[in-house]
Structure 1
């Protein structure tokens, strides 16, 4: 297949809408990387905190505009802001198909879905960490109508923040994160609720395994509910697979789970992939990631 030719151009400015944990951390990381960043948040305290970290505050956004707002706010996040019609729009939302369906009506191929797999149970601008994305996987979505130069610009923002880029379609993303993120939030909630029913003694004896198993349900309940309900179909399917596993004989279940964890690839193989949709998606589907752009190619790695 023919590689998509992409000329070398100066990195465009970045606008970040929403300066909570993810948006604030991204803006700060990009400032540290030397990118031109403008941020906006309806909360004046969030704006002040970002300004103190070197982020320009303003309503005029250009280049790559990142929506770091709750899922229900995606559709109107830019309503009162000045964004030119040629700007690329992306987001950091934990669900992609509903956001794609909503935003493609307005932005078409200018919208490129994104989701960094990082964050903590904390929220708000006080949880900002410029190193949050370092080494994290960041899904950047490639649909049939995605404009590849815009996909590359979004990928370059993720790389500049320290992340590794995983190409995927929105539907593939939602199926995958249902299994590794959304169901774990539900399981953490169930584990915490069941332990609460067990009484004060059980909670007093809770140690590392309980703490690790319930950490994510310390997140804002509204955020978790919006995430799992926004991805209800894939999450229900992934939860059914977990319930089927729990029905297995316990020794068999324990052995199967241990084998998956112990069998994780220990190494990785460096690869070079052309800037072509099928090749990029094949990299993501194989468990690989992009780590660097090189002219009309990207460099990355596959599990080995």
Structure 2
């Protein structure tokens, strides 16, 4: 995108996602700086010439002075503490986040009385690696970046968050927080749980099984390489939605087990799974071009469009 002024960006948390936002925003021409609680992370970022400090008061006072967009990039268990600092040092700043769940973050934001300037976000990108060393400015290229259109979200912040996501290389999916959380339980959080279970099954087969393991096992267990505390931080805050989809999946597996036991076949599972994979491969996004922030019912209309597969490619 071009043709708009790029306001400053302050990223709180310089791990894989937050650090990659810092890199991508800087590469896109934003003045950007950040905070990281780990001193090792601060040193690593500064060694790469990024303006990252371990003193959150200094970082947030600068954000307040420069009217920066604050991006909360810490795992959900650390969000409450970060928001406490934002409330003290930069309560008027536009605020967003890149946390993997939306409704719990929104609830925490409102509990700290910061909702008037908040719009939730979640870039659907990542790797099994973590920390500053894993960051890259290219992480979000053509990724879907969910941006909240919950009732009452402020237009000005919404536009700033959407512009940042687009400038980082993403397309924006407008979402309601609750619907986002139910969706990511299926396509992000359940895969983490299944990858862990599959990795355990392979390891329980001993050296022979692991020695024979090839592409399907490697690909199916990729996200099990994520640090266990990060997996918990991703999945556990979305427990209700994850429990629902786990129940659905266990029914599917139990039906397949019963079919294999009684008739020696998994035909129904294999055929339905293949069809579902084809649905995923054939799924096409469409560009939302006829809804502008500030139009009558713009939030509701964007939510409808996002629900139907629409994405925002420009403002």
TM over 0.5: yes
**2:35 is equivalent to residue 40 of structure 1:** yes
For the 8 Å contact 2:128–2:226, the answer to whether it is kept is yes
Structure 1 segments unaligned to the other structure (5+ residues): 1-7, 294-304
Match of residue 91 from structure 2: 85
For these two proteins, the number of residue pairs brought into alignment is 286
Structure 2 segments unaligned to the other structure (5+ residues): 54-58, 260-265
Among candidates 149, 159, 162, match of residue 152 of structure 1: 159
1:208-287 equivalences under 5 Å are 208-246=215-253, 247-248=255-256, 249=259, 250-263=266-279, 264-265=281-282, 267-274=284-291, 275=293, 276-287=298-309
Judging changes above 3 Å, is the alpha-carbon distance between structure 1 residues 200 and 258 closer, same or farther for their aligned structure 2 residues?
A: same
Match of residue 19 from structure 1: 14
Match of residue 68 from structure 1: 73
> In 2, distance between residues paired with 1:55 and 1:164?
25
**2:137 is equivalent to residue 130 of structure 1:** yes
CA shift for structure 1 position 55: 3.1
Q: Deviations over 1:125-184 (max 9, x none)?
A: 111111011111111112112112211111111111111111111100100000001111
Match of residue 95 from structure 1: 101
More helix per residue: 2
> In 2, distance between residues paired with 1:149 and 1:44?
34
Match of residue 175 from structure 1: 182
> In 2, distance between residues paired with 1:54 and 1:283?
40
> In 2, distance between residues paired with 1:289 and 1:47?
35
2:313 aligns to what SS in structure 1? strand
**2:311 is equivalent to residue 289 of structure 1:** yes
For the 8 Å contact 1:28–1:53, the answer to whether it is kept is no
> In 2, distance between residues paired with 1:91 and 1:97?
12
Judging changes above 3 Å, is the alpha-carbon distance between structure 1 residues 83 and 142 closer, same or farther for their aligned structure 2 residues?
A: farther
1:292 aligns to what SS in structure 2? coil
**2:37 is equivalent to residue 31 of structure 1:** no
CA shift for structure 1 position 85: 3.0
For the 8 Å contact 1:28–1:54, the answer to whether it is kept is no
1:15 aligns to what SS in structure 2? strand
Alpha-carbon RMSD across the aligned residues, in angstroms, is 1.9
More strand per residue: 1
> In 1, distance between residues paired with 2:82 and 2:287?
39
Match of residue 263 from structure 2: none
Q: Deviations over 1:90-145 (max 9, x none)?
A: 11111111111111122023121111111111001111111011111111112112
Q: TM-score, normalised by structure 1?
A: 0.88
Moved more, 55-64 or 238-247: 55-64
For the 8 Å contact 2:14–2:41, the answer to whether it is kept is yes
Judging changes above 3 Å, is the alpha-carbon distance between structure 1 residues 287 and 115 closer, same or farther for their aligned structure 2 residues?
A: same
Q: TM-score, normalised by structure 2?
A: 0.85
CA shift for structure 1 position 53: 4.2
Moved more, 9-18 or 281-290: 9-18
